[in-house]
Amino acid sequence: MPPTPGKPAAALIEAYLQHLQDRACSPATRASHGALLRHLVIEGCDLSQPDTARVQQIIFSPELRPATRYAYFTWVWQFYDWMLQQGEIASHPLAALPRPSSPRQHLQPAVPPPSQPSLPLIQEFLAYLESCGRSRNTLRSYRWTLTSWCAHIGDPRAATPDTIARYLCRPNWSPVTRAHCFDQLRHFYHWLKRQGRLLADPILKLDRPKVPKSLPTRVMSAGEAEKFLAVAQADPDQPRLFTYRVMIELLYSCSLRCGELLQLTLEDYDPSLLCLKIRPAKTGRGRLVPVGRAAAALLDRYLREVRPTCKIPYLFPSPRNRKGCYSPSSLMRIVKLLREQSAIRTKASSHSFRKTSATLMLKNGAPLTTIQQLLGHGHISSTEIYTKLTPRDLFKMHAAHHPREKQKNLPLPALELPGLLFQSPNPRTRHNKLKPAPLPPEPEALECS
């Protein structure tokens, strides 16, 4: 029997692009997927009845770069995976093909396996961290650091301050990476000392690498945050956009981390007290955070009208994963899509709402200890970064509180050296050079009678 003809290629491509839009993929991603599928149709591929050999010939063309070959294979795989879920095809045509190597695999540092004597130490220390309530990302970071360190030295109990100092002075490491690795090695050697497996702690004689202080980046203004929120319409007839709006509102109102938002369950929200119970995620400490009135109203409406009735305990169940919640990459895609639609200048991420909330609350007079408790910081030094003033705030504070600036109609002193008084550059111009302002005219000479 001849095969049953499938849907036209144009209809399949259009339906798949609509599926990508529902998944909050960016317009550039949808355009790239659509261009590749149309290219397959032009090359003679039937999307409804795919020819594996022809698809392989196009994707694995020697003229393509490895990164392009990997991207094409991934996009075509996602397309046929969607068709398999829709029942358009009986089997996946790329299941028997070898997957091209990812270009990111060559960028990741290769860590040789550690020596055999150090493996039990690493496993016991990671088990100790897990018993302390550390998150999976923290355990993964400790595992990479200790594996790399033990592969470098062999037996970690034979380390000296000089070997640790030389290891931390790698030329391709930033100061933040050096300080992060130092903290993890210090924790590891303190644990060995407490366990009685080390006579002397070799890292006690070393000072922590200094980290340059910087201002918080990607912090939005109050107007940009409101413009960002206005993009996701609070309309229950559009459940996907309404869910995005509630998620962004909670990020902004409660100053949550990305992982804390995604791990929220129905039991964590108390509508009578208008608060959320944040489970231990990054720091291993839980806390209660208040929910603003606007966010609470949207959350109550979401629970009544929008959230699907399912057995998933998460507050925001994923429409694709029937047993779990949204992934961090999905939340990043949502924020990126809404940011492009809002057309704000700040390149905001999902973490920007946490930093923006803390910065604006501090500017409005909130105590630093209150912000520390809201953010869940273990040390006040982590919260003190928000007390740093930007140059614009510094100028405003100087003009408002300096005694000489508060007095009006003060004459400017005459300058003897030209070029010391400069005009302020235009902040909207990228390459604006400072130009010396014209000096005040010299006073006329008085005639002596």
Q: What percent of the chain has pLDDT over 90?
A: 8
In a domain, 3, yes or no: no
In a domain, 400, yes or no: no
Q: Where do runs of H (alpha helix) occur along 345-406? A: 352-363, 368-375, 380-383, 391-401, 403-406
In a domain, 216, yes or no: no
CB 70 within 8 A of CB 102: yes
| Selected residue with higher pLDDT from 56 and 434 | 56
What distances in angstroms separate CA 240 from CA 22, 201, 314, one per listed residue?
Answer: 8, 54, 16
Strand-by-strand arrangement of the 287-290 sheet: 269-270, 275-278, 287-290
In a domain, 357, yes or no: yes
Question: Which residue, among 282, 247, 246, 244, has the nearest Cα to 262 in the 3D structure?
Answer: 247
What pLDDT is attached to residue 321? 66
What distances in angstroms separate CA 422 from CA 28, 315, 413, 414, 415, one per listed residue?
Answer: 44, 56, 14, 14, 12
Last residue of a domain, one of 152, 179, 194: 194
- Domain span at 228: 222-382
Last residue of a domain, one of 102, 129, 147: 102
What pLDDT is attached to residue 3? 36
Give the tens place of pLDDT for each residue, 338-354. 888 888 888 888 899 99
Element (H, E) at 276: strand 275-278
Give the tens place of pLDDT for each residue, 60-79. 887 788 888 888 888 888 88
| Whether residues 234 and 372 fall in one domain | yes
Q: Assess whether pLDDT exceeds 70 at residue 442.
A: no
Q: Which residues belong to the active site?
A: 257, 282, 351, 354, 377, 386
CB atoms under 10 Å from CB of 402, counted, come to 10
Give the tens place of pLDDT for each residue, 397-416. 767 776 766 555 545 444 34
The pTM of the full predicted model, rounded to 2 decimals, is 0.61
| Whether residues 164 and 294 fall in one domain | no
Q: What angle do CA 343, 349, 350 make, to 5 degrees?
A: 125
| Whether residues 350 and 243 fall in one domain | yes
| Whether residues 369 and 294 fall in one domain | yes
Average pLDDT (311-316) is 85
| Both structure tokens of 234 | 């609070």
How far from each other are the two terminal CA atoms of the chain, in whole angstroms?
124
| Whether residues 164 and 275 fall in one domain | no
301-337 core/surface letters (b: 16 or more CB in 10 A; e: else): ebeeebbeeeebebbbbeeeeeeebbeeebbebbbbb
The amino acid that residue 5 corresponds to is P
How many structural domains are present in the chain?
3
In the block, residue with structure tokens 């720091």: 283
| Whether residues 17 and 162 fall in one domain | no
